[in-house]
Structure 1
Amino acid sequence: MRLDKYLKVSRLIKRRTVANDACDAARITVNGKSAKASYQVKTGDIIEIAFGQRTMKVEVLEIAEHALKADAAGMYREIL
């Protein structure tokens, strides 16, 4: 699954276009490297998202094409 779509489905970022823009602005890294929106996400990947002053780091646990709001949080695990 593409990175921008994963970020939207998992509800880490609200809209796919916003996720796409964040990738273009190099605010998202996967496994320590800057990633494009077309990057194919795999289970076990570590995604870092820079939200202004705050950075969120998550590990991909599951990949699903569609997820309900209640199930979305189970797609990743936040790393401190």
Structure 2
Amino acid sequence: MRLDKFLKISRIIKRRTVAKEVADQGRVQINNQVAKSSSAVKVDDEITITFGNRIMKIKVKELQESTKKEDAAKMYELIGEDSTQN
């Protein structure tokens, strides 16, 4: 599954176009390597996303083509969330 689609379906990012922009700006890593929006996401991958001064690290648990709002959180596990302060 494409990275931008995973971020949208799992509801980490609300819109696929925003997910694509974030990834193409180099703010998303898969297994510690910078990823493009078209990068493939697999089960057990670790994804790190930088939102401004917040860093979110998740582990992919399952992939689904579509999901209901209440089931979206089952697609990933939150490993850590840090705030970088200057």
Bigger Rg over Cα = 2
RMSD: 0.5
Instruction: Give every structure 1 segment of 4 or more consecutive aligned residues whose post-TM-superposition deviation is greater than 2 Å.
Output: none
Q: What CA distance in whole angstroms lies between the structure 1 residues aligned with 2:27 and 2:40?
A: 17
Q: What CA distance in whole angstroms lies between the structure 2 residues aligned with 1:37 and 1:25?
A: 9
What TM-score results when the alignment is normalised by the length of structure 1?
Answer: 0.98
Corresponding residue of 1:47: 47
Q: What CA distance in whole angstroms lies between the structure 1 residues aligned with 2:62 and 2:16?
A: 18
1:26 Cα offset (Å): 0.4
Q: Which amino acid aligns with 1:31?
A: N
Q: Percent identity?
A: 52
Q: Which amino acid aligns with 2:42?
A: K
1:55 Cα offset (Å): 0.3
SS of 2:62's partner is coil
Per-residue CA deviation, residues 23-65 of structure 1 (Å, 9 max, x unaligned), is 1110100000000111111000000010100000000000000
1:67 Cα offset (Å): 0.5
